[in-house]
Structure 1
Amino acid sequence: MQKPIKNLFLFLSIAFSVISNSQTNKIKNNVFDASAISKNGIEILNGYSAVPNNGVLGNYSVTLPEYESVVYISTIGREKILDGMNRVFSWAAKDLKTIVTKDFNPDTKAGGEPSRNGLLALFKLKNDEFLLLQGVTSPKAMSYFVIADDGKLSINLATFGIDAVSGDIPLITYARGKNVYDVFQKAWKNAIYTEALKGRTAMRYEKEYPEIFKYLGWCSWEQYHTKVSSDLMVDAMQKIEKSPLPIRWVLLDNGHEHSYKSADGMNSSRMLSLKGSPETFPNGFKPMMDAKTEKIKWTGIWHTMNAHWQGLHPEHEIHELDPYLVKISKSGGFDVMMPKGDYESSQKFYNTLIGSAKKDGFDFVKIDNQNRQIAFYQGMSNPVAIVSQHAQSLESAALEHSDGLMNCFCLDMLSLMNTKYSATSRVSVDYLLNNEAKAKSHLLQSYQNTLWMGQAVWPDHDMFHSSDKFCGQMMAVSKAMSGAPIYLSDAPVDFQEKLVLPLSYSDGELLRPLAPAVPLPESVMLSALTTPQAYRVVAPLQHGAAAFVAYNLMHPAPADKVTSAFRVKDYEAAGEFIQPKAESWKAPKEGLVFYDWYEQKGGKLENEYKFDLIGFADKLVQLSPIKNGWSVIGNPNKYLSASTVKSIEYSDKKLKIVMIESGELVVYNPSPISCSSAKKIENMGNGLWKLYLPEAQKNFEVVITLKD
């Protein structure tokens, strides 16, 4: 977990400069005029006061400029806003009305129709500009968008409670411009540097990335679901220890709890204590702790934001919490115990929850079901304020008692705008084994939601099976592109080593990009599941290289091949998601070298590299700059090949490279080369040379020269 921001003066200075230039007054007679937006800004209701009506403080119509297409970010279920927020989709359409029509169903595996209630709306305008409108959650209220049946857009400001609200309340943040990445970043900054949100979250780069998540991990959920036990976990850990895969941490997911169970499962499941289940973990978690080794260094445990799916049982055993709990009656005819909404109760609850994991020997905690919590408090004083406080208390408790917080089921503004210290969050629906349609939807969600969530966190794409018959390698590549935690869920006997080993070094440390992968501008507005067109993403790598992936996500897959390409102009988008914001990348004067990872071939890029995608398929290509006639691809056995190189020194006749960990190395030069460190040099054609170097030596120096 990150320690509090050190340079407070700098932070406040930046915040002041952003806010002073961005507050606006575009509301008249409860109408927000988005057609008048010319740059970035935020609408703040100064001196606001209102009492909720059915939980809603106010409604504001939106006047929109003319636009060519829209991407609307919302969940499933036409009227839903308080639930389902690990199912947040990027609904692409020609207009808003299309999204709320009955026959609009671009994602057959979403599980329902698009909600009219949205978090963000991105419009492609007729002058090739983008306009982003984004809701804001402050400690007092949250805003979200509503599409009427006729396609008109409005903004709701809500608490979902009954208490009056007063003060300066942020309503909506927005940005407009030709650079789609800029509009997301500017809108986010507008919101988090307001007085109301100051210090409640931060930019991605301002947070400390947990050491644990820099290494390869394993999670019990997708393989075993709730059928976990102490014996099973110890057995899995022992098999992982013997495996050639350098898995360094293990996560015990849902199923370990001492809870009240009934036939309807999670719908009435409530926590009885913070100990393990007496039936399946009779000796608690000590056997797991005893199974830790030098290799399996860390362990994590799963809980939900409420302690369990439906909170604590009224007859729970955690009696030190009794003064801090409130009884809530659920519509299913049962009662649950939840933390009260005040600061002291909230702090006590989460310090107890996260502290129990530490006492049991766990190094980090995964927290699930976060954005469902607000529905528990619906109709009480101010649910937005209560849950915002809980989110802040969770962050503080994790900072004190844990070495990492893994946020799950948190694809909403309330969760994101309260990630004070945590550096990772899930950005997609759950991964499902051997499910082609779900895999396509999962990939699309993961990248699209990174555009807004990735401003504050590294985007967790969820666990995966390397043995997945449809997309084992595809999932491995997408996780590598995310820069976030990577964790398997196969039974250890099913590990596919050749697909997993390219993710990390021999000690399990992951190769990570400089920023998480996001869709290229032409793909942002694409309805990728219904259009026979490649969905293309990019992640920046070290030394000016960039990794690109193209996907054929249409479902069912088109009978004909999908032809796509990566071009010089695509390279110029590669650095746009790096934080803090740097200058846009430009192709070097000497050009670029492409390297097709799957086909292990490449050469100098002459405008574009064209390829075909047949069926559910992807293509991983790296573009690397040419300097002094040289280009460095890196270790071709790793997905993010360029990330294997620590430093490069270029000169006309010599190339000096330090590899983080030695192995094979591919470089480019039109002329023959020599290297005394190489056991063998292979001519791959088109100016590419593969050097076979000693294996697994840290900080290995390589000097390559041109032959006389």
Structure 2
Amino acid sequence: MTVGAGIGVADGKLMVLGNCVLRDVKENVIVTAASGGALANGAFIGVVSDQIGSRRIFPIGKLEGLRFLCVFRFKLWWMTQRMGNRGQDIPFETQFLIVEARDDSSTIDDESKGGMDQSALYTVFLPILEGDFRAVLQGNEHDELEICLESGDPTVEGFEGSHLVFVAAGPDPFDVITNAVKTVEKHLQTFCHRERKKMPDMLNWFGWCTWDAFYTDVTSEGVKQGLDRYVYVWHAITGYWGGVKPGVIDMEHYESKLAYPVSSPSVQSNESCDCLQSITRNGLGLVNPEKVFNFYNELHSYLASAGIDGVKVDAQNILETLGASHGGRVKLARNYHQALEASISRNFPDNGIISCMSHNTDGLYSAKRTAVIRASDDFWPRDPASHTIHIASVAYNTIFLGEFMQPDWDMFHSLHPMAEYHAAARAVGGCAIYISDKPGHHDFNLLKKLVLPDGSILRAKLPGRPTRDCLFSDPARDGKSLLKIWNLNEFSGVVGVFNCQGAGWCRVGKKNLIHNEHPDTITGVIRAKDVDFLPRVADDRWCGDAVVFSHLGGETVYLPKDAAIPITLKSREYEVFTVVPAREVCNGVRFAPIGLIKMFNSGGAIKEMNYKDEKSTSVVLKVRGCGVFGAYSSARPKRIIVDSEEIEFEYEEGSGLVTVCLRVAEDELYLWNITYEL
């Protein structure tokens, strides 16, 4: 039986476009074709069962011998990544799974012979919401993939079971994931994909956070030293950590009642949360879901009247523990998120909200407006194990989270032994950039690589994700892999490379641990194809050649199609590469604009590029920012004009690097007009 455009069960196997992904599939498993949506090769997996109950587990089939990546909740609040090749490697609370299958004639080593392995097939599993139930994936000791279905309310026991997991497949992993989420969006109609959401403008400006700067000693004097525009204020989704106290004068209309959280056994098995235990002992004042819009609206309207531009809403996953007597976790979360987003829309017109401590699908599949989400556990400046873990976790979580919202990489310190490492990662992350330095304690040389004098940043266009050849390797634990994170600008790509080996979340100790104090130096390669969408910013005549500029090395390399550059990094080292499609102009000169080469994301400075006509040898750019602007030209330019003024330039015969110096513009967000006559 084959349904779902090439996805179905035949002879006890889940077949995906001719490839067996699961074996020994249970007889009660059903496959239903997706009706429309963004993806043709997709179907829903469900089960037929006469069981009822608020928590049920259904084996689906065996996963053996295929590489996979999953992201799962290792804490109530947060996700992280896990790689493996069999069912028992899949942890509890897995919310996203991508499996690699390939033709029998191909091998993993094929990837090293010419770039990306074109024989690979990527199958995505998205456990979703059905009615009042939420599905997640997990593995068992028999290598079976299981669906765990929960309502979060002992009285909510009946479920349909036909649409529990969406499965999709294709040759490009990033397109498959995006189109799978868009198909689920059409099916559920309870959330919106990131591309349909309004991004708050604060993402484009350098920011500062009071938390690490002052911790609990926040004062008006201290805050004033860091203020300019876009002020956000913190609150929990329930008001405060412990909610809203019942029976308080002038707050009775919120009808708050004391509730005692009950966590999912799956979450508890991954980590027992001290914070949750405290709330469980003392109870939480939960505002009546029918009154919670009034609570949010009164809070937010007051903040807006005081000049506040938005809020960071923490502890969102606490709602999943409070579903009893409210129709279950899904219903409670949806009521709260609808009320929250309605209040944000009314009071903060720039969509001023950062979602935080919110890595569960109850909220993700219920968010129609919220556009920014913290992508990992906190930045912990004093925990040496946390820094490499932070970078890897955000990158892999973004593969999933980035389909719903723009991931936020959290604040960092500019004066810190790992400051450059964190800064480089944020530059390729496509995220907001903000620090939590104490006023006056800054590394301005580092900040100048991130921020322009007017306070704006060169933000890349997409959520930064691991490159295709990093999807199934473990850059934190395997001792041999580098992490490469790619992103896109208007006319170029950017790749950050990081040695993240040596630390990770320990499934035995249930915490982050350093498992290798002295990780090895690792060598990898950079290719133009590492920027998966690079052809989308090149013209139709692009032949595949590119120019690659290394930020730390300062080297400009012309890279023929499918060629590679070696990169060697010691423990906790990084490098950032700008990757630009090379174009041949009519006189045979090859040209590629690089950008502001002293900044991490050099190519983010280029906003427009035009060739005057097919016969012209002139290239016209519009560029934002100041400092040294670099471009590649295979021949020395005849002259360069900036805003109608011919200026001096330097040209390196060996590398082809052309540089000019742009002064600081008087106007905010000013665009320079640069003309290269070749």
TM-score by length of 2: 0.80
**Structure 2 match to 1:490:** 437
Q: Deviations over 1:615-642 (max 9, x none)?
A: 2111100111222221101111222212
**Structure 1 match to 2:423:** 476
**Structure 2 match to 1:603:** 557
- Structure 1 378/186 Cα, relative in aligned 2: closer, same or farther at 3 Å? same
- C-alpha distance in structure 2 between counterparts of 1:136 and 1:626, whole Å: 43
- Structure 1 359/593 Cα, relative in aligned 2: closer, same or farther at 3 Å? same
Q: Deviations over 1:204-242 (max 9, x none)?
A: 1111111222211111122332x23334xx22422x3xx
* Contact 2:489 2:603 survives alignment (8 Å): yes
**Structure 1 match to 2:218:** 229
* Contact 1:24 1:44 survives alignment (8 Å): no
Q: Secondary structure at the match of 2:338?
A: helix
* Contact 2:123 2:167 survives alignment (8 Å): yes
* Contact 2:64 2:87 survives alignment (8 Å): no
Counterpart check, 1:153 vs 2:160: no
Counterpart check, 1:306 vs 2:295: no
Within 5 A, what are the aligned runs for 1:418-437? Answer: 418-437=366-385
- C-alpha distance in structure 2 between counterparts of 1:476 and 1:381, whole Å: 44
Q: Secondary structure at the match of 2:132?
A: coil
- C-alpha distance in structure 2 between counterparts of 1:66 and 1:625, whole Å: 40
Kindly provide the amino acid, as one letter, of the partner of residue 593 in structure 1.
V
* Contact 1:222 1:432 survives alignment (8 Å): no
* Contact 2:460 2:488 survives alignment (8 Å): yes
* Contact 2:44 2:162 survives alignment (8 Å): no
5+ unaligned residues in a row in structure 2: which ranges? 15-24, 33-38, 104-119, 262-276, 503-515
- Structure 1 170/178 Cα, relative in aligned 2: closer, same or farther at 3 Å? same
- C-alpha distance in structure 1 between counterparts of 2:260 and 2:518, whole Å: 50
From 68, 77, 85, the counterpart of 1:94: 85
* Contact 1:553 1:616 survives alignment (8 Å): yes
Counterpart check, 1:574 vs 2:543: no
- Structure 1 144/586 Cα, relative in aligned 2: closer, same or farther at 3 Å? farther
From 163, 168, 187, the counterpart of 2:180: 187
How far 1:315 sits from its partner (Å)? 4.7
5+ unaligned residues in a row in structure 1: which ranges? 1-18, 77-82, 100-114, 241-249, 251-295, 577-581
Counterpart check, 1:625 vs 2:601: no
Q: Deviations over 1:4-32 (max 9, x none)?
A: xxxxxxxxxxxxxxx99799898975335
- Structure 1 504/602 Cα, relative in aligned 2: closer, same or farther at 3 Å? same
How far 1:590 sits from its partner (Å)? 7.1
- C-alpha distance in structure 2 between counterparts of 1:489 and 1:548, whole Å: 25
Kindly provide the amino acid, as one letter, of the partner of residue 674 in structure 2.
V
- C-alpha distance in structure 2 between counterparts of 1:587 and 1:452, whole Å: 33
- C-alpha distance in structure 2 between counterparts of 1:183 and 1:72, whole Å: 15
- C-alpha distance in structure 2 between counterparts of 1:383 and 1:434, whole Å: 35
- Structure 1 38/95 Cα, relative in aligned 2: closer, same or farther at 3 Å? farther
Q: Secondary structure at the match of 1:665?
A: strand
Counterpart check, 1:528 vs 2:475: yes
Q: Deviations over 1:352-375 (max 9, x none)?
A: 333332244311000001012211
* Contact 2:132 2:151 survives alignment (8 Å): yes
From 42, 45, 64, the counterpart of 2:44: 42
- Structure 1 191/515 Cα, relative in aligned 2: closer, same or farther at 3 Å? same
Within 5 A, what are the aligned runs for 1:27-176? Answer: 29-31=27-29, 39-43=41-45, 53=53, 55-56=54-55, 58-64=56-62, 66-76=64-74, 84-86=76-78, 88-98=79-89, 115-127=91-103, 128-138=120-130, 140-161=132-153, 162-165=155-158, 170-176=163-169
- C-alpha distance in structure 2 between counterparts of 1:500 and 1:365, whole Å: 25
TM-score by length of 1: 0.77
Counterpart check, 1:667 vs 2:667: no
How far 1:524 sits from its partner (Å)? 0.9
- C-alpha distance in structure 1 between counterparts of 2:296 and 2:595, whole Å: 45
How far 1:701 sits from its partner (Å)? 1.4
Kindly provide the amino acid, as one letter, of the partner of residue 649 in structure 2.
I
**Structure 1 match to 2:486:** 538
Q: Secondary structure at the match of 2:369?
A: coil
- C-alpha distance in structure 1 between counterparts of 2:449 and 2:130, whole Å: 42
- C-alpha distance in structure 1 between counterparts of 2:158 and 2:149, whole Å: 11
- Structure 1 229/139 Cα, relative in aligned 2: closer, same or farther at 3 Å? farther
Counterpart check, 1:592 vs 2:538: no
How far 1:488 sits from its partner (Å)? 0.7
Moved more, 310-319 or 139-148: 310-319
* Contact 1:61 1:155 survives alignment (8 Å): yes
Q: Deviations over 1:125-155 (max 9, x none)?
A: 2433222211112562211113223332211
**Structure 2 match to 1:705:** 677
From 642, 651, 665, the counterpart of 1:683: 651
Kindly provide the amino acid, as one letter, of the partner of residue 313 in structure 1.
K
Counterpart check, 1:658 vs 2:627: no
Kindly provide the amino acid, as one letter, of the partner of residue 396 in structure 1.
A
Q: Secondary structure at the match of 1:411?
A: coil
Kindly provide the amino acid, as one letter, of the partner of residue 533 in structure 2.
A
- Structure 1 22/160 Cα, relative in aligned 2: closer, same or farther at 3 Å? farther
Q: Secondary structure at the match of 1:511?
A: coil
**Between the two proteins, what is the percent identity of the paired residues?**
18
- C-alpha distance in structure 2 between counterparts of 1:349 and 1:206, whole Å: 27
From 599, 610, 615, the counterpart of 1:638: 599
Counterpart check, 1:325 vs 2:256: yes
Q: Provide the alpha-carbon RMSD of the alignment.
A: 3.1
* Contact 1:129 1:176 survives alignment (8 Å): yes
- C-alpha distance in structure 1 between counterparts of 2:87 and 2:341, whole Å: 36
From 620, 645, 663, the counterpart of 1:694: 663
* Contact 1:173 1:187 survives alignment (8 Å): yes
- C-alpha distance in structure 1 between counterparts of 2:541 and 2:523, whole Å: 24
How far 1:475 sits from its partner (Å)? 1.3
Count of residue pairs the alignment pairs up: 589
**Structure 1 match to 2:513:** none
- C-alpha distance in structure 2 between counterparts of 1:584 and 1:168, whole Å: 45
Q: Secondary structure at the match of 2:163?
A: strand
- Structure 1 151/117 Cα, relative in aligned 2: closer, same or farther at 3 Å? farther
How far 1:441 sits from its partner (Å)? 0.8
- Structure 1 117/235 Cα, relative in aligned 2: closer, same or farther at 3 Å? closer
* Contact 1:219 1:463 survives alignment (8 Å): yes
**Structure 2 match to 1:358:** 304
- C-alpha distance in structure 1 between counterparts of 2:307 and 2:344, whole Å: 14
* Contact 1:220 1:228 survives alignment (8 Å): no
* Contact 1:574 1:585 survives alignment (8 Å): no
Moved more, 531-540 or 431-440: 431-440
How far 1:421 sits from its partner (Å)? 0.7
**Structure 2 match to 1:268:** none
